[in-house]
Structure 1
Amino acid sequence: MDTRKIRKLIELVKETGIGELEVTSGDESVRISCQTSFPAPAALMQPVAAAPLAAAAPAATNGPEPAAAPVHDGHQLKSPMVGTAYLAPTPGAKPFVSVGQHIEVGDTLCLIEAMKMFNKIEADVAGVLSARLVENGTPVEYDQPLFIIDTGE
């Protein structure tokens, strides 16, 4: 098998986050395994517990905070696809939205990269962003809650 093809397969495994890929072509076969870090799902859960604290504080913190009972009052904006969530348009840039900010229908809340395409995730209701449930650059699943929006109802 051509080394360029193998390199492309390795890049594909790294970018998509799949654990293992096996390709057979004729009498040749290649298996690529990638060790993924299992603490990542726990890291996704920390922002949920920290959401009430982030709403009270003007600046969000990136460090771990004490666990509290998650509050999910309000409208949940869920991921329409599997991919990687980005909270800002470019690395180091200001996030699209902040917890406590008033948002309108159509406001961009984040981007989800899927298959090398960046997809805008827009607010489907107006209200106040009460919680951000994902961190920048983290993988997201289909139908995973991303944000909680307090619609005032």
Structure 2
Amino acid sequence: MDIKEIQNLIKFVAKSGASEVKLEMEDVKITIRTGSNKTETTIVQAAPIAGMPQVAAPIAPQQVTSLENTAPKAESNDAKFITVKSPIIGTFYRKPSPDKPNFVEVGTEIAVGDVVCVIEAMKLFNEIESEVSGKIVKVLVDDSSPVEFDQPLFLVDPS
């Protein structure tokens, strides 16, 4: 199962209104839980070892953070900005490598198609391109932090 199939499954479950979906195949076990605008996804992949029976590993619960705790005043100021969101689950990086500069900083002018960050998912580094033009006004995620699907990453002023 590749990352695109997992993303499509997450989107489908979120739109369906189901509270929990479990999918188990030979070497992949996926559990997606939704509720009160929160989505938790747990993916376990184990390669079978020759001669050993397969045993499922225990899954530690993941903490899902909510962005609902932001003050209403901040939301009204940010309403004129466009939010660049994460298209995948993974680890957010602002640089292409540790010895290189950040892709974008606050105040950087970006155009459609410019790379704004990298998200590592399943040992693959995915360049995230901007779908809007404008100026970066705020970086919402710390470098090397885990991000969820559709999590806001940047605020962009389109004017």
In the superposition, the TM-score normalised over structure 1's length comes to 0.57
CA 1:21–1:32: 2 relative to 1, 3 Å: farther
User: Does 1:99 pair with 2:113?
Assistant: no
Give the fraction of aligned pairs with identical amino acids, expressed as a percent: 38
Q: State which of 131, 134, 138 in structure 2 corresponds to 1:131.
A: 138
Q: Distance in 2 between matches of 1:83 and 1:116?
A: 9
Give 2:87's match in structure 1, choosing from 65, 80, 90.
80
* Letter paired with 1:108: V
CA distance in 2, matches of 1:102, 1:89: 18
* Shift, 1:148, TM fit: 0.7
Distance 1:102 1:31, change over 3 A: same
1:23 Cα offset (Å): 9.5
Bigger helix fraction: 1
The answer on whether the counterparts of 1:21 and 1:32 sit within 8 Å (CA) in structure 2 is no
What TM-score, normalized by structure 2, do the two folds share? 0.55
Q: Which residue of 1 aligns with 2:128?
A: 121
Aligned-partner SS, 1:93: coil
TM superposition shift of 1:120: 1.0
Pairwise CA distance, 1:101: 1.1
Deviations 1:43-89 (CA, angstroms, capped at 9, x unpaired)? xx7xxx8xxxxxxxxxxxxxxxxxx9464231111111111111001
In the aligned structure 1, how far is the partner of 2:61 from the partner of 2:103? 29
Number of paired residues? 114
Q: Provide closer, same or farther for how the CA distance between residues 99 and 18 of structure 1 changes in structure 2, counting only shifts above 3 A.
A: same
Distance 1:31 1:145, change over 3 A: same
Choose between structure 1 and 2 for higher RCO, CA contacts under 8 A separated by at least 6 residues. Answer: 1
Judge conservation of contact 1:20–1:33 (CA < 8 Å) in 2.
Answer: no
> How large is the RMSD of aligned CA atoms in angstroms?
3.5
Output aligned runs, 1:34-49, within 5 Å. 41=65
How far has the Cα of 1:151 moved from its partner?
A: 0.3
Where in structure 1 are there 5+ consecutive unaligned residues?
1-16, 50-67
- Does structure 2 retain, via aligned residues, the 8 Å contact 1:19–1:33? no
Distance 1:119 1:29 in 2: 31
The structure where strand makes up a greater share of residues is 2
Q: Distance in 1 between matches of 2:47 and 2:128?
A: 34
